[in-house]
Amino acid sequence: MTRKIIIVGGVAGGASTACRLRRLDEEAQIIMLERGEDISFANCGLPYYVGGVIEKRKKLLVQTPKSMRSRFNIDVRNMSEVIKVYPAEKKVEIKNLVNDTVYEESYDYLVLSPGAQPALHNIPGIEKANVFVVRNVPDSDNIKQYIEVNRPETAAVVGAGYIGLEMAEMLKELGLKVTIVEAADQIMGALDPDMAAIVQEYIQKQGIDVILSDKVVAMEGAEQVEKIQLESGKNISAQIVIMGAGVKPEVWLAKEAGLAVGTTGGILVNEQLQTSDSFIYAAGDAIQIKDFVTGDDSLVPLAGPANRQGWIVANNICGRNIKYTGSQGTSIVKIMDMVAGGTGQNEKQLKRKNIEYLFCHAQPFSHATYYPGSTQMTIKLLFTPGEGKILGAQVVGYDNVDKTIDVLATAIRGRMNVYDLLELELAYAPPFSSAKSPTNMVGYVAANILDGSTDSMSWEEVQHLAVEDIYLIDVRSPKEVEKGTIAGAYNIPVDNLRERLNEVPKDKDIVIFCEIGLRGYIAARILKQNGINSKNISGGYRLYQSLKNCGLVE
């Protein structure tokens, strides 16, 4: 019996479902309905098309209706919007957006892949002609055309997530004066504040202004926005505005069809990605899934998971029982020369879920320092006490960030622990890594905390200690200290610590820091073996400087 499958939406989830269906079933009748012009495009590449890094528009188009028809024999109907689903009758109502005609199609199976939509707020002036979102290729065309015709000099980007930061970079490269406005108290919500501070410090040095903890309340101007007003009373000049304040799952069609929606606001699906109607599946940014690390309900609007989900949906429609095991939210972004990536849980999420954890920072080099071009990265690892199960990781740097975060993401997927990182045998030659890779190094740092070789603390924790109760030791060299240190810190270089042990008081908590943490660890070991307990500040003075420059510590 020939199956008839209707797929609502293209891009990652819908297109991958369609292609996999055809590879599994040559006889199936497959209809893909997409309300936009393009059925499968590289939405992650849109900012780079706006900025001219991707020069040709067609490079964004992964598949066209013509190529899908010829290679996969799929009935592709773009500019066609499904406006109603009738689950009991197993049919959909479709509107042709070219001629406004409405017709019906029956189905054996229906796949919903509507994606996510920009999380826009009811801001006065948001409807003006120079306010844009970045969701599809036509959106990008509109932005490019507006810039080419109107030559704006100032831009505001509302939202400091990945798309917002990428758009800020591209606008800056096009010569605009760019201001980022973020309602939260940090950029890049996927990262913890200490790691996000490194990125913020960098982009501010590149000439992009960042305003945190403030909201846009109005966009002022006659026919076009000329300035935006913030809740704090500030006004920002903006001749073009990019709305990048996150996305939300598009679920209106599922709701109207009577399908269940989860606590996160996404379409509720089971492990086989079936909705509450067993003949309707869903994939992509609109569905609620399980977090791979914690098992909690989650929304993960990323292309990788969406592609995997589409593949699984097709397999299950064709009778193969494959479960979706969840997502850990692995992601990465490039802002100019800096790269930031994350995987698994961050500290904020673990605190919110009352999950006990430990953390550490390491700041290894991308490859052997004696080989030209080596740069330093910062790695943050989150793990459980006792077992040392890896809960999450974040990496910020310039080179080899992608490789490092991918190895750590694989470790999480393999349910590895901190000690397993020490055993990883990774490729080494001076141009590529070090004999101890960055992944090995952060494993050693975490293992030292787990086995009691050292105790660590964060700069945030230091801020809450009473000055009279602690003895703060800067173990860097005097020349380094001359360039800057912490008020009230005593300078005892690590190389002189053994002969100056008598200076370390016995009636106070001893807290140590160096530039990145390594010399602090060595100093802590010296003290511990001389009967003096101490804590080493994770991330060292370098991390402190980023935090201070972003107003996160005093």
Provide the β-strand partners of residue 106. 91
Question: For residue 118, what is the enclosing H or E element?
Answer: strand 116-118
SS3 call for 267: strand
First to last CA, the chain: 71
Kindly report each contact of residues 525-533 with a partner whose C-beta sits within 8 Å and lies 24 or more positions away, as own/partner.
Answer: 525/453, 525/454, 526/494, 526/497, 526/498, 527/497, 527/501, 528/453, 528/454, 530/501, 532/501, 532/504, 532/506, 533/455
Q: For the chain, what is the total number of helices (H) and then of strands (E)? A: 16, 33
Q: Is 550 a catalytic residue?
A: no
Residues 6+ apart with CB under 8 A from 485: 474, 476, 491, 541
Nearest alpha carbon to residue 47 among 136, 155, 175: 136
Question: For residue 47, what is the enclosing H or E element?
Answer: helix 46-50
Question: For residue 379, what is the enclosing H or E element?
Answer: strand 378-383
Residues 56, 42: Cα–Cα separation, whole Å:
13
Side chain identity, residue 492: I
Residues 6+ apart with CB under 8 A from 59: 42, 45, 49
- Do the Cβ atoms of 374 and 366 come closer than 8 Å? yes
The sign of the dihedral angle between the CA atoms of 293, 298, 301, 305 is: positive
Task: Describe the strand order of the beta sheet including 227-230 as a list of residue ranges.
Answer: 216-220, 227-230, 235-237
- Do the Cβ atoms of 104 and 59 come closer than 8 Å? no
SS3 call for 43: helix
CA dihedral 348, 196, 265, 108 (to 10 degrees): -120
Residues 46, 26: Cα–Cα separation, whole Å:
33
Farthest-apart Cα atoms in the chain, separation: 88
What residues act catalytically?
Answer: 44
